Every structure is written in C-alpha cells, then in structure tokens.
Copies of this chain bind each other. A is one copy, B any other.
C-alpha cells in the first residue's frame, strides 16, 4: 500500500517522521473564488477604502495555517516560521486569486499548511461577500511548489 497514512492493518495513523532530518521546507499553494463582475467591483471598491475584506481573509488564512494540525487529523504539529498570503483581483475570472507561502525548519513538509491557509482565506471572502452573491464558487486549490523534502523540488505544471 502506498498510502503513507494507512498501515499494514489498513488503519489510519500519524506517520513516524522522527528519523527524518530537520531541513528548511517551503510550500506554496493557490486557489480562486469566482464571482460576478459586479460583485468583484464592489469588493475592490470597498477594499480600496479600508482593506477590510481582503485584510480579514489574509489574517484568517494566516491563523488557519497555524491550526492545520488540529484540523487535518494526521498532520504533525509544526513550528512554522513564516506565512504570507497574497490576494489579487482577477477580472478575467472574475474573482480573486489567493496564494499562500509557508516555511518551516522541520521533519515534514508544509503543503497542508499552505492549502489550509488558502482554503480558509477563500472561505472568509465567501463569508463576507455572501450577502451580495450566494452563488460564488471556490476553484483550483492546489500545491504550486514544494521544496526541502526528500522528494526534491516539486513545481506544478501551469
């Protein structure tokens, strides 16, 4: 069985990483939220003023990254050393694109932290905009890049 979290008995467990070296690891993830063009304009207009929708989404994503191991059952607790989240409007969607970068010096990677940060930032945008448009969709959450582990540097295809 190649599913690392499933042991010989077929049972889920937290993988033993104690023998792996401490290395600097970085992961980048992205995701999008799709809305109508007028909704996007309204958020951009409001945000230009005070930054509160996207500011709240960024903060919620950063805080969620720190709680990844309490949300995802088999994730290891990790002393992450950096989280940044960038949110950019994309008129072509129309909607917002969220990208999160997480760093740690540790024995296992941080792609789950980056994916969790992206997901919660997107959910926060949904929450703050849903009174205006209920039909928004969250799309394309994936790992863009990952480095520092045994398996080398991973970069998603465009």
Chain A interfacial positions (CB closer than 8 Å to B): 1-7, 9-18, 24, 31, 42-43, 46, 49-53, 55-56, 58-60, 62-64, 66-67, 69-86, 103-107, 111-112, 115-116, 119-120, 122-124, 126-132, 134-143, 146, 154, 156-157
Contact = CB atoms under 8 A, between A and B. Distances in A.
A52 B6 CA distance: 8
User: Copy number of this protein in the oligomer?
Assistant: 6
A interface, over-half SS: mixed
Contact of A123 (B70, B81, B119, B137): B119
Contact of A51 (B51, B115, B143, B146): B51
B81 A70 contact: no
A43 B73 CA distance: 17
A3 B56 CA distance: 13
Most buried by B among A16, A49, A119, A132: A119
A81 B119 CA distance: 25
Given A12-B128, A142-B138, A59 B73 contact: yes
B77 A17 contact: no
Contacts of A120: 71-72, 119
A11 B82 contact: no
B14 A128 contact: no
B138 A141 contact: yes
Contacts of A13: 58, 62, 83-85
B126 A115 contact: yes
Given A62-B74, A140-B137, A84 B128 contact: no
